[in-house]
């Protein structure tokens, strides 16, 4: 009798549970037109190139402060990244906010944030004047959307930059291997030096014409292939 009462009590408890309804698991995307949440989804926007070592004009003038970071949208929605954050930790500890008024980051597109549009990158998509990644010291960058959701980290707080650098003549960017999926940004093997290549469509056309001889980078364009078969660590020395 006691066992029957216990079973009835358990059955009664289960029967009283309210229907939880549908569980909302979707992510609201910001597409610039629907007024939805200012958020993305982890992995749908990645940082694909960093020129941390500055630019060099064709006359040999080096501008260490002329730097950029590139974003690529590999998701399924166009995004307005206004208000998104790039957080640096390591040698530099700073948070930069992508300003309003820039273009949409459309699906499959590359666009870039630069410290200035008065140097070697005159048509940057977004300008953040105090952008700075240090002088060859360790840095990690973390991309957050406007709702503070983590999109992805790259680099390392304890290791030297994975690639790129200034060798007193040429400055080369740190480029990510062009993979649609995979390629962890915090692993050195995901990165390589910019490599000039003979291609039908040049990928350095958003570098000013008087900077292309010694500034090797592809801001706002697909990255160059890695012909080295390896990866390297760059520095200013």
pLDDT in tens, 32-44: 555 555 567 777 8
Question: Is position 91 within any domain?
Answer: yes
Q: Which domain holds residue 193?
A: 38-216
Instruction: Give Cα 7 distance to the centre of its chain.
Output: 57
- This prediction's pTM: 0.82
Cα separation, 19 vs 36, whole angstroms: 28
Q: Are strands 150-156 and 174-176 parallel, antiparallel or unpaired?
A: unpaired
Domain count, the chain: 1
Percent of the chain with pLDDT over 70: 76
- Mean per-residue pLDDT, 94-99: 97
Question: Is position 198 within any domain?
Answer: yes
* pLDDT at 197 exceeding the cut of 90: no
71, two tokens: 């974003």
Q: Between 145 and 25, where is the model more confident?
A: 145
pLDDT tens sequence across 123-132:
999 999 999 9
Question: Is position 24 within any domain?
Answer: no
Question: Is position 147 within any domain?
Answer: yes
* pLDDT at 229 exceeding the cut of 60: no
Question: Is position 18 within any domain?
Answer: no
pLDDT given at position 221: 95
Question: Is position 127 within any domain?
Answer: yes
pLDDT given at position 34: 53
* pLDDT at 202 exceeding the cut of 90: no
* pLDDT at 95 exceeding the cut of 90: yes
Question: Is position 55 within any domain?
Answer: yes
pLDDT given at position 228: 53
- Mean per-residue pLDDT, 220-231: 72
Question: Is position 8 within any domain?
Answer: no
Residues with Cβ within 8 Å of residue 100, at least 6 apart in sequence:
82, 83
Q: Which CATH number do you get for residue 88?
A: 2.60.40.1260
Buried b (16+ CB within 10 A) or exposed e, 108-133: ebbbbbbbbeebbbeebbbbbeebbb
* pLDDT at 151 exceeding the cut of 80: yes
pLDDT given at position 98: 97
């Amino acid at each position: 009798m006691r066992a029957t009462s216990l079973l009835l009590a358990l059955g009664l408890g289960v029967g009283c549970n309210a229907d939880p309804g549908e569980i909302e698991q979707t992510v609201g995307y910001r597409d610039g037109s629907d007024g939805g949440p200012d958020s993305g989804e982890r992995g749908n926007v990645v940082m694909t190139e960093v020129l941390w070592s500055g630019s060099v004009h064709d006359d040999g003038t080096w501008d260490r402060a002329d730097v950029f970071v590139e974003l690529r949208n590999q998701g399924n929605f166009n995004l307005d990244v206004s208000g998104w954050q790039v957080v640096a930790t390591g040698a530099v500890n700073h948070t930069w906010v992508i300003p309003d008024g820039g273009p949409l980051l459309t699906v499959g597109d590359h666009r870039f944030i630069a410290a200035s549009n008065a140097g070697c990158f005159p048509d940057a998509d977004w300008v953040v004047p105090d952008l700075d990644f240090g002088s060859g010291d360790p840095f990690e960058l973390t991309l957050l959307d406007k709702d503070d959701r983590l999109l992805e980290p790259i680099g390392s707080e304890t290791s030297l930059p994975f690639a790129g650098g200034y060798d007193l003549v040429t400055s080369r960017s740190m480029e990510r291997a062009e993979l649609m999926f995979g390629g962890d940004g915090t692993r050195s093997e995901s990165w390589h030096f910019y490599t000039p290549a003979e291609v039908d469509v040049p990928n350095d056309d958003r570098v000013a014409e008087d900077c292309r001889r010694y500034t090797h980078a592809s801001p706002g364009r697909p990255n160059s292939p890695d012909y080295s078969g390896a990866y390297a660590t760059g520095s200013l020395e």
